[in-house]
A = this chain, B = another copy of it.
Amino acid sequence: MTVSSDHPKANAQRTLISVDAMGGDQGPAIVVAGCSESAARNADISFVLHGPAETLEPLVAKRPELAGRCIVRDASGVVTMDDKPSNVLRNGKDTSMWSAIESVRTGEASVAVSCGNTGALMAISMIRLKKMPGVNRPAIAVLYPSTGPQGFNVMLDVGADVRADADDLLRFALMGKSYARNGMDIERPRIGLLNVGTEEHKGRTELKEAFELIRDAADESEYDFVGFVEGSDLSGDVADVIVTDGFTGNIAIKTGEGTATLIGNGLREAFQHSIWSRFTALLAYGSLGRVKKRFDPRRVNGGVFLGLNGTVVKSHGAADATGVSSAIKLAARLAESEFTNRLAARVATAPPVKEIEE
């Protein structure tokens, strides 16, 4: 049996990552394969894997890369994609997702990764990890392909909450800045506030207020504020971090993903149009592959929950082993940079949060 009974944290060199093995569309075998892929690439990480032991132990035993670097934490319950978050909070204490977050809460692991139900994962994370001092609303940040220097921009919030007032948007800016610095190595990120135009007089009232708050905090918080940006700047080189509320952000990324899929399918159809076009597709294999790789969603798999006492990475439900592995890579990177501590320090220095009137 390759499942080690030694606690992997005993190896002080290694970053322990808590992984919810259940709840992804493709089942636990893919999640274990993703852990194995990560372990092979990165000698500095180890895992605590949550789910039914009788399912996970044989899967782990098949992966020599995980020998001595992975413990299984038995949890019999599974959160499905259809489970309502409120229901999971009431009845989900035996689930792999709950157990995975618990490892971060107790300090055993520094970061958790799950492919499961986003709403339930956010709800458990909120209740168990609790909000960081100075944060009213946590946010989910994603990387979006762009022409920027890193090839990606950060956008937040993309769906932790459908609302955000001016104060929340300021915290998002601060959290996004920390993420860009620690997760993407951008020393002084450029921050933009998403709006329907770049002129200062445009948009909703809370945006004009947020504009002033984010502008005034720029110097002290060491970012550049580029002002209002538009939807097209999400994939552009104007800002490294795009700040918006979770409603708008969610619709923007899903619209972008849908459009990319539409074009990808259009390309596939065009190159299957005739024998000649199939032939040219073969010849153009390298070029098409380069484009595909650049926009491969698996390369940037992972929404990060920001503003909680602990880092949680949400991998796409449909992620394959490469996708899971890239979510783990992101988690490891954030863990190693002590992201949560730095973020907490940063947010705490921001102006005090106003009372939310709701």
Contacts and interface: CB of A to CB of B under 8 A. Distances in A.
Contacts of A280: 280, 283-284, 286-287
A290 interface: yes
Interface stretch (A42-50, A58-66, A217-225, A230-238): A230-238
Interface string A183-211: 00000000000101000011110000000
A233 B163 CA distance: 22
A254 interface: yes
Identify the interface centre among A163, A204, A259: most chain B CB within 10 Å of its CB.
Answer: A259
Nearest to A260: B259
A252 B250 contact: no
A251 to B, nearest CB: 4
A267 to B, nearest CB: 5
A283 B258 CA distance: 29
A196 B266 contact: no
A247 B355 CA distance: 26
A26 interface: no
Contacts of A286: 273, 276-277, 280
A163 B263 CA distance: 31
B235 A262 contact: yes
A294 interface: yes
Interface string A267-290: 100110100110111011011101
Interface string A120-164: 000000000000000000000000011100000000000100110
A196 B250 contact: yes
Interface string A14-51: 00000000000000000000000000000000000000
A295 B203 contact: no
A194 B246 CA distance: 14
A232 B244 CA distance: 18
A67 to B, nearest CB: 40
Contacts of A6: none
Nearest to A236: B258
B266 A291 contact: yes
Nearest to A161: B196
A246 B163 contact: no
A6 to B, nearest CB: 43
A253 interface: yes
A263 B288 CA distance: 11
B270 A258 contact: no
17 contacts: A163-B204, A194-B251, A230-B250, A230-B251, A231-B258, A232-B254, A233-B258, A235-B255, A235-B259, A247-B248, A248-B251, A256-B258, A270-B287, A271-B284, A271-B287, A273-B286, A273-B287
The 6 residue pairs across chains A and B that have the minimum distance between CB atoms: A231-B254, A232-B258, A231-B255, A280-B284, A270-B287, A231-B251
Given A196-B247, A263-B295, 4 more contacts: A163-B204, A230-B251, A232-B255, A263-B291
